[in-house]
A and B are shown apart, each in its own frame.
Chain A
Amino acid sequence: MTESEAIQLFKCLSDKSRLQILKSLAIEDMYVERLAERLGISAPTVSFHLKKLADAGAVTSYKSQYYMMYSLNKDIFHTSILEIIQEKSDEADLQAKRDAEYRQKVINAFFEYGKLKSIPAQQKKERIVLEVIADAFEYDRIYPEREVNIIIADFHDDFCTIRRDLVAEGLLDRNSKGYWRIKPQK
Chain B
Amino acid sequence: MIEQKVSEMNKWFDEKIAACGQRDRELTADDRQDEAVFEKVKGNIYDNYRTMLGAGVRIGRGDPAAVKQFFIGWTETVPASWKTAYEKAKEHDDLARMQTEQVKLDVVHEIREHFEKVWEGAE
Contact = CB atoms under 8 A, between A and B. Distances in A.
15 contacts: A14-B33, A15-B31, A15-B33, A16-B32, A17-B35, A44-B98, A48-B34, A48-B99, A50-B95, A51-B94, A51-B96, A51-B99, A52-B34, A52-B96, A55-B96
Nearest to A47: B95
Interface string A50-71: 1110010000000000000000
Interface string B63-101: 000000000000000000000000000000011101110
B95 A51 contact: yes
Contacts of A125: none
A48 B96 contact: yes
B110 to A, nearest CB: 15
Contact of B95 (A15, A17, A41, A48): A48
Interface string A39-50: 001001101111
Residue of B95, B98, B100 with most chain A CB atoms under a 10 A cut-off: B95
Nearest to A41: B35
Given A44-B102, A45-B35, A48-B100, A16 B30 contact: yes
**Binding site secondary structure of chain B:** helix
5 nearest A-B residue pairs (beta carbon): A48-B99, A51-B95, A51-B96, A16-B31, A47-B95
B24 to A, nearest CB: 14
B34 A15 contact: yes
Nearest to B89: A51
Interface of A: 14-17, 41, 44-45, 47-52, 55
Nearest to A18: B34
A47 to B, nearest CB: 4
Contact-size category for B: 10 to 19
Contacts of B35: 17, 41, 45
A16 B32 CA distance: 5
A46 to B, nearest CB: 9
Residue of A17, A48, A49 with most chain B CB atoms under a 10 A cut-off: A48
A145 B87 CA distance: 79
Contacts of B99: 44-45, 47-48, 51
B32 A17 contact: yes
Contact of B31 (A14, A45, A55): A14
B32 to A, nearest CB: 5
A17 B34 contact: yes
A97 B102 CA distance: 46
Contacts of A44: 98-99, 102
Nearest to B97: A51
A52 to B, nearest CB: 6
Contacts of B100: 48
Nearest to A19: B31
Interface string B31-44: 11111001000000
Contacts of A50: 95
Contacts of B98: 44, 47-48
